[in-house]
Structure 1
């Protein structure tokens, strides 16, 4: 995308801050933890423990300023037992009394994921909406993907963007306890 550079990153603090800003109004994040002061901890826990060191993390930069990020897991990614334990402790700190919501979310998402090997787009977000940042991040990720890909769209407004990259809605679920709707999406390799 013109004016937007996408580069790999391992700066988990920066990436987590960008994603927390990008997802501040996201229906699933707000259901999971209504207090935005804890959102960065959620994304940091995801990046460090759930996606882990093997994740492909892209940073979008415009005029030297970081403006978005995307996190992908390669086919066959598994969370180790050690990482699961560490993530539980970190999620407990971030989710507090809503920890059960995190368990529900993980349980629902695990059931929806394809069984065949696939790339998983865990998060993609931009601090400025409508500026082509998401498109730049998706282009960089899709160019790298060498197998089918999967994501859960937590915002209906983002579905057309994902469809432009070949993803198709495969289901629609509504999370319990007054939760939002989520759209699993799959892209054939």
Structure 2
């Protein structure tokens, strides 16, 4: 796994857009009946990944960007209220011609922030994991996540993520994570996300 804070952003966005096309969370934010849906989804992923990278985030990359993970280190993104408002405004404007998509993208990110379980020890937050729809990509994704879980920088820190489907949740659980907190239920009858957690390694504290 290559870890970088200067990835090929176009390739990252392409992988995220392809991977999350059938995802129920993105179906809620960007319904499949939406014209030019991939364009709006790509804007959402571009703006959010840029925001994370601007605040210390990193991207783990498998060969040819066939699988990626995007995460923030402990304490990040530590945005001021003004920076947070600017981020939400960028989302709204970028997806503003897509009906309610901009508002729903903001509602999604607000829900993740507001329902982040309190009182967790310092931790890495994995925002996205994704694979391209290629036969070899799934295996690469498993290897990438396993490499992420063994990453030297994790020593002494926890790891937190929100799985977007029960299947993804179960994959994380099989790799040593556990459920934490309540399901994050999106508004207007939207789907759920499943917070998952791995405790810091006490031997590395």
Give 1:110 deviation, angstroms: 1.8
* 1:55-94 equivalent positions in 2, closer than 5 A: 55-61=57-63, 65-81=64-80, 83-94=83-94
Mapped partners of 1:164, 1:7: distance in 2: 23
Gaps of 5+ in 2: 32-36, 201-205
Give 1:186 deviation, angstroms: 1.1
Structure with more strand by fraction: 1
Mapped partners of 1:23, 1:141: distance in 2: 20
Q: Deviations 1:16-62 (Å, cap 9, x if unpaired)?
A: 1111111111111121122222111111111111442521211111x
Does the CA-based 8 Å contact 1:118-1:148 persist in structure 2? yes
**Aligned twin of 1:182:** 193
RMSD (CA atoms): 2.1
What is the TM-score normalised by the length of structure 2?
0.78
* 1:40-189 equivalent positions in 2, closer than 5 A: 40-52=42-54, 54-61=56-63, 65-81=64-80, 83-96=83-96, 97-114=100-117, 115=119, 116-128=121-133, 131-144=138-151, 145-146=154-155, 147-170=157-180, 171-189=182-200
Structure 1 stretch 158-167 or stretch 91-100: which is displaced more? 91-100
How many residues matched? 181
What is the TM-score normalised by the length of structure 1?
0.84
Mapped partners of 2:94, 2:177: distance in 1: 31
Q: 1:94 to 1:28 in 2, by over 3 A?
A: farther
Structure 1 stretch 13-22 or stretch 99-108: which is displaced more? 99-108
Give secondary structure in 1 for the equivalent of 2:187. coil
Give 1:128 deviation, angstroms: 2.9
